[in-house]
Structure 1
Amino acid sequence: MSEHEKRPETALEEILHEIEDAETRPEDSPEERRRRGEAADAITPNTRAEEESQGD
């Protein structure tokens, strides 16, 4: 297994691996990002559900 393929042993190693990966990854267009989705995408809050749960 090469240096790049081995599993990280610490959180720091994992973060460094992610950074290296991001540097070499081609950038997606906004349309591709929308289609694929991102973990950090904002969600629309359901205000009705919020109002209903306030009495709980």
Structure 2
Amino acid sequence: MATAVQRATKAEQRAAWWARLNDRQQSCLPVIYHADQEAEGLSASAWVNGEKAGPATQWR
């Protein structure tokens, strides 16, 4: 289990990574992430409904 110091360090690393992105990248990345999550959810629900889900390269 991660200690508080390790969690802070990981949070600091993520913040530093984010700060290195330019404004356009910072605005596009969340949109891309949410679109990918939606596509993944649709693929998973298709599988639950008995449909064959293709590989991630097809729905991404």
Q: TM class, shorter-chain normalised? A: 0.3 to 0.5
Structure with more of its chain in helix, by fraction? 2
TM-score by length of 1: 0.37
Q: Whose RCO is larger (CA < 8 A, sep 6+)? A: 2
Greater C-alpha radius of gyration: 1
TM-score by length of 2: 0.36
